[in-house]
C-alpha cells in the first residue's frame, strides 16, 4: 500500500489551479499533469503507451448510483434506451421478435464453454432495464447504492447534462484512475491483491462458470466497498465498465518524439475507426468504456486496469456497464 499512501500525500496539498470548491457533492479534483497513457504489456488495443497531458478537472468519486439515476429520471421523465423498442428501420437485419425493449444480462454457465462465443453467457432479456437488472421480476430494491446499469451511451450523456456535468474523455478517465501513480498495472500499484487484500470487485475463478467470490460480490457491489485510489476515487477498477466520450480506436496514437510537447487533452471525436467490421452492428459507432467490471477474470479478460479499454456500441446496454461524470 506504499504506492497509494505516497500518491495520497502527493494530492493532499492543493494542486496548481485547483478551484476552491467542488461544483457538486462527492467530486474530487484531479490536478493537471502529464502521464503515461495505455500499456505495452497487455492487450493490443492498449498500445502503445504514450505520454499525454490533461488539464485539471473534477470527477465523481464513485460511479453514478441507482439512487442518483432515479432522481434524474423522476426529475426529467427520461426513458432509457433499454426501455424503448428499437426501430426496425434502424435494424433491417434483425429478427422482428427481438425488437422489443430489453437489454443484455449476464448468466453464468453450468460449466466450461467456448470463450470465443460471448452469447454463451450474455442473454438478450426482454424487460431488462436499470430498474430490473436481471430482467422482469428482479428489482433494485436494496441496491440503491450500486452503480446504475443498463444505460446506453445516450442515457449517460442525458444524465450528465441534467447534472450540469460531462462524461470524461478516455484520457481524463485514465488519468483519474491512475491516482497519481505512474505506469502501474493497477489503480493501486503492481500487485493485484497486496497482502491478500481485495482492491476491486472483479471475478475470481474461471469465467464464466466458477465465481469464487473472494471479493464477496457475485454481481455489482455498492460503491465505495473497496479502497480509494490516490485521488480518493472509488470503483475505477471493476464493479462496472464506465462510458467515456471518446470514440473507440483499435490502438492509441504513437508516442510523439518531442518530449516538450505531449498531446494536450487528447480526445477522439471522429467515429471513423470505431466500427466493428465483423458481425451485426457494423454500422453502429463504438465509444470507449474503461475500468473493467465484476465480470473481468484473468482467464478471459484481464481488464480491471487503468490502461484497459473496450469499444462498446453506443446502442448497447448491459448489466455491467455504468458511468461517472466529470466537471471541467
Ligand atoms: Ca466479484
Ligand atoms: Ca468501474
Ligand atoms: Cu472484462
| CA 240 to ligand 2 centroid distance, Å | 4
| CA 169 to ligand 2 centroid distance, Å | 15
CB under 5 Å of ion ligand 1: residues: 201, 215, 217, 294
CB under 5 Å of ion ligand 3: residues: 292, 296, 301, 303
25: exposed, middle or buried (Cβ count in 10 Å: 0-12, 13-18, 19+): exposed
Number of residues that this document lists for the chain: 328
* Site of grid cell 478551484: 19
Residue 112 phi, psi (nearest 5): -60, 145
Query: In sequence order, which ranges of the chain are alpha helices (DSSP H)?
Result: 2-12, 66-76, 153-162, 170-178
Residue 82 CA to residue 74 CA, distance in Å, equals 17
| CA 292 to ligand 3 centroid distance, Å | 5
| CA 175 to ligand 2 centroid distance, Å | 14
Q: Enter the C-alpha cell of residue 177.
A: 484512475
Ligand nearest to the CA of 203: 1
Strands 321-322 and 241-247: parallel
| CA 131 to ligand 1 centroid distance, Å | 21
Question: What local confidence, expressed as pLDDT, does residue 5 receive?
Answer: 47
Q: Enter the C-alpha cell of residue 196.
A: 491478500
Q: Which residues pair with 326 in a beta bridge?
A: 59, 166
Question: What local confidence, expressed as pLDDT, does residue 318 receive?
Answer: 98
8-state DSSP, 265? S
Peptide bond just before 48 cis, omega within 30 deg:
yes
* Site of grid cell 467515456: 244
Residue 170 CA to residue 253 CA, distance in Å, equals 13
Q: Enter the C-alpha cell of residue 33.
A: 499533469
Q: Enter the C-alpha cell of residue 257.
A: 518524439
Contact 207, 133 (CB under 8 A): no
| CA 190 to ligand 1 centroid distance, Å | 20
Q: Which residues pair with 52 in a beta bridge?
A: 35
Question: What local confidence, expressed as pLDDT, does residue 2 receive?
Answer: 44
**How would you write the pLDDT of the chain (328 residues) with one tens digit per residue?**
445 544 444 444 445 567 888 999 999 999 999 999 999 999 999 999 999 999 999 999 999 999 999 999 999 999 999 999 988 888 888 888 889 999 999 999 999 999 999 999 999 999 999 999 999 999 999 999 999 999 999 999 999 999 999 999 999 999 999 999 999 999 999 999 999 999 999 999 999 999 999 999 999 999 999 999 999 999 999 999 999 999 999 999 998 777 677 899 999 999 999 998 776 678 899 999 999 999 999 999 999 999 999 999 999 999 999 999 999 9
| CA 27 to ligand 3 centroid distance, Å | 26
Contact 230, 10 (CB under 8 A): yes
* Site of grid cell 504506492: 3
Residue 297 CA to residue 300 CA, distance in Å, equals 5
User: DSSP secondary structure string, 7-50?
Assistant: HHHHHHSPPTT--SS-SSTTEEEE--EEEEES-SSS-GGGPSPE
28: exposed, middle or buried (Cβ count in 10 Å: 0-12, 13-18, 19+): middle
This prediction has a pTM of 0.94
| CA 31 to ligand 2 centroid distance, Å | 20
Amino acid at each position: 500500500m506504499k504506492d497509494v499512501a505516497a500518491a495520497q500525500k502527493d494530492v493532499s496539498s492543493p494542486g496548481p489551479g485547483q478551484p476552491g470548491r467542488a461544483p457538486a457533492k462527492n467530486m474530487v479534483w484531479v490536478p493537471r499533469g502529464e502521464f503515461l497513457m495505455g500499456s505495452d504489456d497487455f492487450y493490443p488495443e492498449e498500445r502503445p503507451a504514450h505520454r499525454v497531458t490533461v488539464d485539471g478537472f473534477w470527477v465523481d468519486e464513485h460511479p453514478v448510483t441507482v439512487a442518483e439515476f432515479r432522481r434524474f429520471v423522476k426529475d426529467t421523465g427520461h426513458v432509457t434506451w433499454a426501455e424503448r423498442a428499437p426501430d426496425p428501420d434502424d435494424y433491417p437485419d434483425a429478427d422482428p421478435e427481438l425488437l422489443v425493449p430489453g437489454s443484455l444480462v449476464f448468466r453464468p454457465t453450468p460449466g466450461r464453454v467456448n470463450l470465443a462465443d460471448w452469447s454463451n453467457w450474455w442473454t438478450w432479456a426482454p424487460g431488462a432495464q436499470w430498474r430490473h437488472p436481471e430482467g422482469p421480476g428482479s428489482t433494485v430494491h436494496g441496491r440503491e447504492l450500486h452503480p446504475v446499469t443498463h444505460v446506453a451511451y445516450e442515457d449517460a450523456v442525458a444524465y450528465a447534462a441534467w447534472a450540469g456535468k460531462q462524461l470524461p474523455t478516455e484520457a481524463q478517465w485514465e488519468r483519474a484512475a491512475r491516482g497519481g501513480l505512474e505506469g502501474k498495472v493497477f489503480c493501486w500499484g503492481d500487485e493485484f491483491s497486496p497482502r491478500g487484500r481485495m482492491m476491486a470487485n472483479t471475478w475470481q475463478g474461471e469465467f464464466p462458470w466458477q465465481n469464487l467470490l473472494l471479493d464477496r460480490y457475485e454481481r455489482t457491489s455498492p460503491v465505495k466497498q473497496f479502497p480509494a485510489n490516490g485521488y480518493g476515487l472509488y470503483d475505477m477498477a471493476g464493479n462496472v465498465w464506465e462510458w467515456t466520450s471518446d470514440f473507440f480506436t483499435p490502438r492509441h496514437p504513437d508516442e510523439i518524439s518531442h518530449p516538450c510537447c505531449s498531446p494536450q487533452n487528447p480526445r477522439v471525436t471522429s467515429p471513423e475507426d470505431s466500427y466493428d467490421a465483423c458481425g451485426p452492428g457494423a454500422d453502429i459507432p463504438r465509444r470507449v468504456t474503461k475500468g473493467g467490471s465484476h465480470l473481468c477474470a484473468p482467464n478471459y479478460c484481464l481488464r480491471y486496469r487503468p490502461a484497459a479499454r473496450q469499444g462498446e456500441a453506443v446502442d448497447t446496454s448491459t448489466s455491467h456497464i455504468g458511468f461517472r461524470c466529470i466537471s471541467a
